[in-house]
Amino acid sequence: MLGVFLAAGSTVAQESRVPFVYVSGYRPEISIFRLDTAGGKLIPAGKIDPGPEPSFLAWDPAARFLFAINETDPGRVRSFRIDQASGALTPINDVPSTGSITAHLSTDRTGKWLLVANYGDLKAGTIASFPIGVDGRLGAAVDTREFGPGSMAHQIRTDPSNRFVFVPLKGGPAVAQLVFDEATGRMKANMPPQIAAAAGAGPRHLDFHPNGRFAYVINELDLTLTAYAYDGASGVLRELQVLPTLPAAADKVGASGADVHVHRSGRLLYGSNRGHDSIVIYRLGDDGRMTLVGHESRHIRRPRNFTIDPTGTLMLVANQDAANVTIFRIDQASGRLDPVGPPTPVGVNPSFVGVVMLPGK
């Protein structure tokens, strides 16, 4: 779940649902908002204390439960019940993440397993899978994997088929490829177990194309974005293309890549640049290759994370240094972004923003 989820059901049912926005960062607070899609506004709807440094959030496919990491040493993972009318969160339980500096989490496609990546700093980067009970309660990890000192596991997610798991290793530099058993929650190395990135690239986040034939990885350190062809039968990536995420003349000092999302249309791709304070926009061809459209920098300050709402019409950018979220309207033809009003203060220096559709009231 990379911050965007469209709950299961018919098109009519989806259109009747209410978008709620969850924002978190490095303060003990998750802020909750209703999203006014017509006006492009965030309306405060509450907050909760999820423990220290809740830097990333996720939820199950049915949008019944929300999960938060505590990016601490050692790390923890927390579970909350989502009130379907108000979006309010009620704590359920928390468990050790089995690693340090926990960086990312996501559920598998069945909603039965929570997958966690532990960055590990200079220690070994690790991943783990946790069972999710029918009541949202997290059990102890059923599987853990280690990638070695300095590997820096930065994200974990399944492929569209739920048969494979991918982990960008910032320090690898590589993307780990694993086989996933959705019956047991266990993982094992695929063949090959990793696809190498360029030296010093720093793979950070990955997103799949809606057609399941391509994947895209933003590289934190060398400020590039890599397009991969994806073989869904074998669960293996193959590099297609690498493009810079900054303009040719841009100053790279203090800049780093952060997040990546493919638009639901499959025609557009976006990546966030910290330091340069911009969103890079690419057009995608039928062959999965990227063509630069341009950069958007208005009202953007250190965009640690961003998301696209389930309708594909709005982008929400978490401005970590400005303690606010900027909402952009997406031009469906060109992919260009246009700010919708001024940024909204969110009470935290946000490292995550996500949209979930609920029945509301």
| % residues pLDDT > 70 (the chain) | 95
| % residues pLDDT > 90 (the chain) | 90
Reported as a pLDDT band with limits 50, 70 and 90, residue 360 is confident
222-237: per-residue pLDDT in tens? 999 999 999 999 999 9
Contact 95/114 with Cβ under 8 angstroms?
no
Could you tell me the two tokens for 50? 């999820």
3-class SS letters over 240-294? EEEEECCCCCCCCCCCEEEEEEECCCCCEEEEEEECCCEEEEEEECCCCCEEEEE
Spatial distance between the Cα atoms of 254 and 271, rounded to a whole number of angstroms: 17
* CATH number for the domain running over 4-358: 2.130.10.10
Q: What is the pLDDT of residue 122?
A: 62
Q: Give the list of residues 6+ apart from residue 137 with CB closer than 8 angstroms, or none.
A: 79, 92, 93
Reported as a pLDDT band with limits 50, 70 and 90, residue 7 is very low
The Cβ of residue 265 has, within 10 Å, a number of other Cβ atoms equal to 12
Q: Mind giving me the DSSP string for 184-217?
A: TTEEEEEEEEEEEPPTT--EEEEEE-TTSSEEEE
